[in-house]
Amino acid sequence: MTANPIELAMYSASQLFLTPVLILIGLLFVHAFYALGAFIWQAWQRHNGQAGGFELAAALSRNPQMTLTELEALATKRMEFARIATRIAPMLGLVATMIPMGPALMALSDGQMADVSRNLTVAFSAVILALMAASISYTVVNVRRRWYAVDLAAIEHDAPQPQRDHDPVAVMALEGAR
């Protein structure tokens, strides 16, 4: 059975995307570890009560005219790329899994097991890296979202920023228990 021109065109077009998708997955993987390092550094600063760990309070001290809406926009902007990465990385992983499957199935039908193995290795490696990037980014985004919510609440209530050895979440929990 021969493929029609539309099928051949679609197959050829899909194969063009493998390299760019693999490059994007690699970049997202590297970015996830960069974001994780920045997150750990910020967590250390917050734990030690250093101003650098409280980005929104620092931004407000640099510009006291900022509104809560502007601070929320800053927090959203700060998390934007990582939020996008959490959603895009798994999609790219799926694309990078499916693209090599066509050549793998064609090689299987021709009995070329080495080509099948090579294509499946690319497919599974890409999806693993993409899911790792997404999971790291997801964790960073969700903890930062909580931090920013706590910071915004403290700013809104005109409360001083937590001092050394105080956890802002614990402070908020105690206030809520009263």
Mean pLDDT by 10 residues, the chain (178 residues): 80 90 97 96 94 90 90 94 96 94 86 89 94 97 95 79 54 53
Q: CB of 25 within 8 A of CB of 133?
A: yes
Q: Which two tokens stand for residue 90?
A: 């798994």
Question: So what's the pLDDT on residue 167?
Answer: 59
Q: Which of the 8 DSSP states describes residue 167? A: -
Q: What is the pLDDT of residue 143?
A: 96
- pLDDT number for residue 157: 84
Question: For the chain, how long is the longest CA-to-CA vector?
Answer: 75
pLDDT recorded at residue 164: 45
pLDDT the model gives residue 159: 47
Q: Output the pTM of the full model.
A: 0.78
DSSP 51: G
Q: Return the closest-CA partner of residue 53 out of 163, 175, 178.
A: 163
pLDDT for residue 86: 96
CA quadruple 149, 152, 156, 158: dihedral sign: positive
Residue that has been written with the tokens 């994780």 in this structure? 36
Question: CA–CA separation, 167 vs 56, rounded Å?
Answer: 16
